[in-house]
């Protein structure tokens, strides 16, 4: 009897200890104190210190104490979350940040995350007193979400280390979404992973520098192209990649001299250009590239119809003329443009086979993937090029055409994320012509920004780093990757 009683006491003590441990862990999650270390990385989970939503239909009502946060397009609803990130290892670098939410109102197209520019108070914020948010850049984005499940949104560009971070959830569509708030049963979480190597390995001495943008100069917006030119001028050691639609509207020699030359023309000697559709059929008086080839001369490589390649540091770089593809037939009407047996495609295949560089970058005007409202669809020849570059183990593609900045995850030609062999696409149609708004967010899109600027990249022996530099404002996007 005594032995049985002792066993029951031991079991009861164990159960009490487990319960107390569970309570302690929950409190630490709520306070953002849970950490897990694996080798050279640390993962920390933080709960929000404030959250609320506002609604245009009840503009003077505060929803800071409800058990749900909402995002909707009609009636408009915006949610706000604040996280205090602390205790990250000194000198560490944030390599991943995920906003984790529990769904209690499903939708076919979930909200996106935006930075909040001004202060807000959980207990008093209303639609009429709501804080200003960054309307130009969506950092994270959710697609279809299912009721009663956790979902994750990549917000890595927002979280820079220890500090206070404010995130807005917005949704342009009328099929609204809802999530548990910090007053709900399943509180939001911010999961931050850091690389704890205090001193990252330096880039090798063979690192090459490039700056890039397309869609640059026109009579109606010279100030914008001159603003991006100032950013290029501040990087005199970088090779300049001009990614098509360089002189509007038709790419005539006069337009190049009047609009492109006073801005980006200052870097002509270090520019490796490609043409866009405006250099070919940009107006009723079609140039078919004549103004472009005359302006750039030998650098335009007319002898190979505007496509060429070269080595830059340890990288092989391929420049492709998709301006000639913009239409059903070649100029003389004899055959389809830019299909699988087109001379440019055959040349590209042979060029990739002939070069054994570990790292390859390609640039051409028309993107395979785009979330731009004005240029949302993938053009058929862009998919053909993407397939050839994917089969040739290319690492990075730079495009223009869509007048915005957009960065994608490494993708295969069919639009699926492929971290092993996928190509990372950057759209940099931000040279100065105009800006396009966000349309439907394409799968794999990680960052979208509607503003002028340039992309600068460092190309190392086995990898690359990037940073988008705007002409104004605080938006930034930077990171790095390794070659296949």
H helix intervals, 32-169: none
Query: What is the distance between the terminal CA atoms of the chain, rounded to a whole angstrom?
Result: 69
More confident residue, 141 or 180: 180
With residue 255 as reference, give the H or E element that holds it: helix 253-255
Confidence band (pLDDT; 50, 70, 90) for 377? low
Q: Which pLDDT does position 29 carry in this prediction?
A: 42
CATH of domain 208-482: 3.60.21.10
pLDDT greater than 70 at residue 145: yes
Nearest to 240 by CA among 208, 269, 215, 210: 210
Q: Rounded mean pLDDT of the chain?
A: 87
Buried b (16+ CB within 10 A) or exposed e, 164-192: ebbbbbbbbbeebbbbbbbebebbbbbbb
- Least-confidence region, from 21-25, 281-285, 361-365: 21-25
**For position 375, what pLDDT does the model report?**
82
Cβ 301 vs Cβ 195: under 8 Å: no
Higher pLDDT, 17 or 418: 418
Bridge partners (DSSP) listed for residue 397: 362, 425
- Kindly tell me if the per-residue pLDDT of 107 is higher than 50: yes
Domain residue limits, the chain: 31-195, 208-482
Q: What is the pLDDT of residues 160-213, one digit of tens each?
A: 999 999 999 998 878 889 999 999 999 999 999 998 765 555 545 578 999 999
The pLDDT of residue 200:
53
CB 455 within 8 A of CB 213: yes
CATH architecture of 31-195: Sandwich (2.60)
Please state, in angstroms and rounded to a whole number, the distance separating the CA atoms of residues 145 and 126: 26
Helix residue spans in 270-340 (DSSP H): 278-281, 290-296
CA distance 120 to 30: 21
Q: Are 406 and 392 in contact (CB under 8 A)?
A: no
pLDDT in tens, 280-318: 887 777 888 999 999 999 999 999 999 999 999 999 999
Q: In what order do the strands lie in the sheet with 239-243?
A: 271-274, 239-243, 208-213, 453-459, 463-470, 477-482
Ranges 38-47, 178-187, 333-342: which has the least confidence: 333-342
Give the per-residue pLDDT at 285: 73
- On the question of pLDDT at 273 being above 50, the answer is yes
Nearest to 138 by CA among 176, 179, 170: 170
Average pLDDT over residues 57-61: 96
Residue 1: the pLDDT is 47
At how many degrees (to 10) do helices 343-354 and 380-391 cross? 20
Q: Say how far apart CA 54 and CA 483 lie, in whole Å.
A: 45
* DSSP helix/strand/coil, 64: coil
Question: Per-residue DSSP letters for 12-61?
Answer: HHHHHHHHHHHHHHHHHHHHT-EEEEETTEEEEEE--SEEEEEETTSTT-
Nearest to 343 by CA among 361, 320, 360: 320
Is the distance from CB of 212 to CB of 454 less than 8 angstroms? Answer: yes
């Amino acid at each position: 009897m005594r032995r049985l009683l002792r066993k029951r006491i031991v079991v009861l003590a164990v159960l009490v200890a487990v319960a107390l441990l569970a309570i302690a862990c929950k409190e630490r999650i709520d306070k953002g104190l849970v950490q897990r270390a694996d080798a050279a990385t640390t993962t920390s989970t933080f709960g929000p210190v404030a959250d609320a939503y506002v609604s245009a239909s009840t503009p003077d009502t505060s929803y800071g104490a409800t058990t749900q946060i909402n995002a909707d397009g009609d009636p408009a609803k915006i949610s706000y979350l604040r996280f205090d990130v602390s205790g990250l290892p000194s000198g560490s670098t944030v390599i991943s940040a995920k906003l984790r939410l529990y769904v209690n109102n499903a939708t076919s197209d979930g909200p996106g995350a935006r930075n909040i520019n001004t202060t807000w108070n959980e207990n008093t914020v209303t639609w009429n007193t709501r804080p200003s948010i960054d309307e130009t850049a969506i950092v994270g984005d959710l697609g279809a979400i299912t009721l009663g499940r956790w979902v994750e949104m990549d917000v890595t560009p927002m979280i820079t280390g220890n500090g206070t971070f404010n995130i807005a959830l917005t949704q342009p569509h009328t099929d609204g979404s809802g999530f548990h708030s910090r007053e709900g049963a399943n509180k939001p979480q911010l999961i931050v992973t850091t690389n704890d190597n205090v001193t990252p390995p330096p880039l090798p001495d063979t690192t090459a520098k490039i700056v890039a943008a397309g869609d640059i100069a026109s009579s109606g917006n010279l100030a914008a192209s001159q603003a991006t030119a100032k950013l290029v001028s501040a990087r005199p050691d970088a090779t300049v990649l001009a990614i098509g639609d360089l002189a509007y509207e038709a790419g005539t020699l006069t337009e190049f001299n009047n609009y492109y030359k006073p801005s980006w023309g200052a870097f002509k000697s270090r520019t490796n250009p490609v043409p866009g559709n405006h250099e070919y059929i940009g107006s009723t008086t079609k140039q078919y590239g004549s103004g472009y080839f005359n302006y750039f001369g030998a650098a335009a490589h007319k002898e190979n119809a505007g496509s060429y390649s070269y080595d830059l540091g340890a990288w092989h770089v391929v420049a492709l003329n998709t301006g000639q593809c913009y239409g059903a037939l070649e100029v003389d009407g004899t055959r389809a443009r830019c299909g699988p047996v087109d001379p440019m495609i055959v040349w590209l295949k042979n060029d990739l086979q002939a070069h054994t560089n570990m790292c390859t970058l390609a640039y051409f005007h028309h993107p395979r993937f785009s979330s731009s409202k004005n240029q949302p669809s993938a053009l058929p020849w862009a998919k053909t090029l993407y397939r050839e570059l994917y089969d040739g183990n290319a690492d990075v593609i730079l495009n223009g055409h869509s007048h915005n900045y957009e960065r994608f995850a490494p993708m295969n030609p069919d639009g699926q994320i492929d971290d092993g062999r996928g190509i990372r696409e950057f759209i940099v149609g931000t040279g100065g012509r105009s800006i396009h708004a966000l349309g439907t967010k394409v799968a794999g899109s990680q960052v979208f920004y509607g503003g002028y600027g340039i992309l600068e990249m460092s190309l190392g022996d086995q990898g690359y780093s990037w940073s988008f530099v705007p002409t104004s404002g605080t938006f930034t996007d930077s990171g790095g990757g390794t070659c296949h």
